Amino acid sequence: MTKISSLLKLLLFLIFAGWLSVWLLKPTQLWTKTWKLAEKKASASFLTQSGLNFAVYTFPVIAIAIVGFVYLSLKQKEAISRKGRSSLSVLSNPVVVNKYIGILSGFEILAVCLFVIFLAWTFYVRISNDFKKMVPMKSFTLSVWQYRVFRVATRSGLLAEACLALLLLPILRGMSVFQILGIQFEASVRYHVWLGTTMILFGTLHGGGTLLIWGIKHHLGDEMWKWQKTGRIYLAGEITLLIGLVIWITSLPQIRRKRFEIFYYTHHLYIVFLVFFLFHTGDRHFYMVLPGFFLFCLDKILRMIQSRPETYILSARIFPSKAIELTLPKDPRLTYAPTSVIFIKIPRISNFQWHPFSITSSSKVDKHTISILIKAEGRWTSTLCNILHSKPDSEAGEMRFLQVATEGPYGPSSMDFLRYDSLLLVAGGIGVTPFLSILQEIASTRRSKNVLPVKIQLVYTTKDSKGICLLDSVLPHVFDAEQHYLQLKVFVTREHQSNRSLREVLNEVPKIQNIHFTNNRPGHAIYGLENLQWMSVLLLVVSVVFLAFLIITNHVFIKPDKKSPEQKTATSVVDILLICSFALALISGTLVATIWRWKRLREETPSFSEKESKAMKPTGANRVYDQHEIHYGARPNFKDIFSQLANESKGSSIGVFVCGPETLKESVATTCQLLSNGFQSGGQDHKPFFSFHSLNFSL
């Protein structure tokens, strides 16, 4: 198994290196000459120029996803082993901690620097060749400075194209290639934001510089409305830029947080954006950005299929701290790693809004149910809270069924947190949700005597005592008197009391309200994502179908020039054939995925019963908690906490996981950065190494 994984990892590296080489060589004259010869041979063969473009520019990324799914499926079956310290561990820790740009690791800074170098290389090679040639424009004459401004604007479009090629990859969920690197969807969303902002910047320079020169030469009205049969379609480019600006403006935090619906709906204009981008640049350039769009569309289709049929809420628990725990039915064979998230939609509130929530339950502990914790803060969550607070149907605390659609769970492919010798979990408020599943997973795994962290410390900060009740769902599983490996430190920041134990606080917290739902309709349990190997096969099939349709339509409708078969201009006919081939491939993939999904649901997935819906989790009010600390009117001193844990865990690897407000993450990251650097500079190998991980409970 290990040898196969190593071979697949090597294959992934070779494919990525080949795809990267194409991007690096594309601006050079060597590639231009070689590519013309390749196109000439492809035009006379069954592959056609379109097939060659797809094979060279598009398929490598798809191949990475195909091989990556197989690699991840094998990785899930590998035995857990201790994660020793390596030279690359330093790069995974915070290097830059800033309230404006966030927390950046060494890997992220290295990746950003390499991408900037690539953009600079592409721009330099292109613009230097342009300045050497100084080819005059056929439509109007330009002075030297006007020509240079015009070429700089034109080449800025290529930089926007490079950003667009990567733009959709970070927001893939089921088909995410970032899982290979251990980066989850919630963490990679900011890469999408960075790429989108950079793309809009270069796109604006491209369009604005071009319009400027046209205006100076008094050709603005003639050029900007052109929709010519061959060559660049300028009107399509202007529409593309306008749509891109609308999407970017409505995604700004000021609009996204206050008017989420506007942000959500305008983001669906990406389809129109990409179609007009195709008409503006032609199919040759579009094949460079097609991989992300290809994977995103297939990922979207699989998510739509997965969200049908809908399920129902089994029960709910309303906490005094305005938090709600929902329990949903799941297939007993569905397993997921802790820190996973699930997207839910409640049609009674909105037919379009999907919201991600961290899973608080463990698939090893809860075989038939899955639980999520929601804090009533925004409009959607407040509406849900009002529905649950409405009068039940009977005195027994029952309520009519509440229909829910789900996507996921999405999470890490393996439980890397088990590889550390010790764990430091830092949570703020509702940010404790991903740690509840981690603690339950460790408690259940410890009974099987597997290799687990020797010491675990949970530092939990909350504004008032009511927030402590969020731990209620996990207390019976992990705070057993015999389990001394776990230490809890609670900090209540806005209350000033003394000499009160954790047990006394929990006894004084208002009672948690339990609500059962009566489900009079048959419903399906949450089945989860399809098998990774099955998704790799589906992706391969859809790719082959797309290539087949592409080749067939080009042979039927495109007749190359016999005198110059290698010449193929960007025409609307070629673009429309590409769109049609892509649509037919997606339709084929949708049919296969739908048939497979419904077959599995009909034959294997059991429906949940009324008896199962009555199951509720036990509370932990009668457990022994006296050995755990609780502090009032104070915030945690992370330097002391880190130092104490370091002294108790000499020579070990410590995984630091933090989830909560950004200020809390920055404080933990700064402390982790300082102590790790101090231990390394001191040259003391017996000192532990802190490995920082930031978890997100919201997007």
Q: What are the tens digits of pLDDT across the range 519-572?
A: 665 567 888 888 888 999 999 999 999 999 999 988 888 765 554 444 444 478
Contacts 24+ apart (CB under 8 A), 348-357: 348/387, 348/402, 348/403, 349/380, 349/383, 349/384, 349/387, 350/380, 352/261, 352/264, 352/265, 353/260, 353/261, 353/264, 353/380, 354/407, 355/380, 355/381, 356/186, 356/408, 356/698, 356/699, 357/433, 357/697
What pLDDT, on the 0 to 100 scale, is given for residue 545?
Answer: 94
**Amino acid in the structure at residue 676:** S
Question: Would you state the pLDDT for residue 165?
Answer: 94
Residue whose pair of structure tokens reads 């989108």 in the numeric block? 196
Through-space distance between the first and last CA atoms of the chain, rounded to whole angstroms:
36
CA distance 452 to 420: 8
Please check the confidence at residue 584 and state whether its pLDDT lies above 50. yes
Residue 286 phi, psi (nearest 5): -70, -30
Q: Which residues of 153-190 are buried (b: 16+ CB within 10 A; e: fewer)?
A: bbbbbbbbbbbbbbbbbbbbbbbbbbbbeebbbbbbeb
Rounded to an integer, what distance in angstroms lies between the CA atom of residue 517 and that of residue 394?
A: 11
Weakest-pLDDT range from 353-367, 402-416, 502-516, 631-645: 502-516
User: Residue 155, Cα to own-chain centre: how many angstroms?
Assistant: 30
Instruction: Dihedral sign for Cα 235, 237, 243, 249, please.
Output: negative
Q: Classify the C-alpha dihedral 11-15-18-24 as positive or negative.
A: negative
Mapped onto helix, strand or coil, the DSSP state of residue 238 is: helix
Contacts 24+ apart (CB under 8 A), 251-254: 251/193, 251/196
> pLDDT tens-digit profile of 461-518?
988 888 888 887 666 655 554 556 778 888 888 877 766 766 677 677 677 788 877 7
Range list of H helices, 168-233: 185-216, 220-223
CB atoms within 10 A of CB 129: 15
> 634, 497 in Cβ contact below 8 A?
no
Q: How far apart are CA 342 and CA 354, in angstroms?
A: 10
List the structure tokens of 248: 């970017």
Mean of all residue pLDDT scores within the chain: 82
Q: With beta carbons less than 8 A apart as the criterion, state whether 528 and 564 touch.
A: no
Using alpha carbons, list the distances in angstroms from residue 578 to 282, 485, 541: 10, 59, 17
At residue 386, the 3 state secondary structure works out as helix
Tell me what pLDDT residue 201 has.
Answer: 96
Sheet holding 398-400, edge to edge: 369-375, 323-329, 315-318, 513-518, 398-400
> 105 vs 91, 129, 431, 692, CA distance in Å?
6, 37, 21, 9
Which tens digit of pLDDT belongs to each residue from 94-135?
Answer: 888 887 788 888 888 999 999 999 999 999 999 998 888 776
632-to-499, 510, 562 alpha-carbon distances in Å: 10, 19, 84
Query: Using alpha carbons only, how large is the chain's radius of gyration in Å?
Result: 28
- The tens digit of pLDDT for each residue in 129-161 reads 888 877 665 556 778 888 888 889 999 999 999
- The Cα 208–Cα 154 span in angstroms is 10
| Cα 583 to Cα 283, 433, 577, 609, distances in angstroms | 15, 40, 10, 40
| pLDDT for residue 612 is more than 70 | no
pLDDT digits (tens, 9 = 90+) for 246-297: 999 999 988 887 887 888 889 999 999 999 999 998 888 999 999 999 999 9
Spatial contact of 300 and 171, defined as CB atoms under 8 Å apart: no
**Three-state DSSP string of 53-120:** HHHHHHHHHHHHHHHHHHHHHHHHHCCCCCCCCCHHHHHHCEEEEECCCEEEEHHHHHHHHHHHHHHH
Instruction: Quick: pLDDT tens for 233-256.
Output: 889 999 999 999 999 999 998 888
Amino acid 168 reads: L
pLDDT at residue number 541: 93
Please give the Cα distance from 280 to 572 (Å, whole number).
9
Number of H helices, E strands in the chain: 22, 17
Q: Minimum mean pLDDT among 151-160, 187-196, 447-456: which range?
A: 447-456
Confidence of residue 86 (pLDDT cuts 50, 70, 90): low
Q: What is the mean pLDDT of residues 1-17?
A: 88
Residue 636: its H or E element: none
In the three-class reduction of DSSP (H, G, I as helix; E, B as strand; rest coil), residue 559 is classed as coil
- Please state, in angstroms and rounded to a whole number, the distance separating the CA atoms of residues 354 and 496: 39
Tell me 618's DSSP state. Answer: P
Percent of the chain with pLDDT over 70: 83
Q: Please confirm whether the linkage preceding 510 is cis (ω < 30° from 0).
A: no
Q: How far apart are CA 594 and CA 588, in angstroms?
A: 10
Q: In whole angstroms, give the CA distance from residue 635 to residue 694.
A: 19
* CATH architecture of the domain covering 311-390+399-525+637-678+686-694: 3-Layer(aba) Sandwich (3.40)
pLDDT at position 183, please? 81
Contact by Cβ (8 Å): 407, 354:
yes
Of the given ranges (69-78, 393-402, 530-539, 579-588), which has the lowest mean pLDDT? 393-402
Confidence label for 681 from pLDDT (cuts 50, 70 and 90): very low
Instruction: Say which range, 72-76, 402-406, 585-589, has the weakest mean pLDDT.
Output: 72-76
**Quick one: tokens of 69?**
């799914």
Reference 526, options 300, 318, 316, 327; nearest CA is 327
pLDDT of 378 > 80? The answer is no
pTM score of the predicted model: 0.86
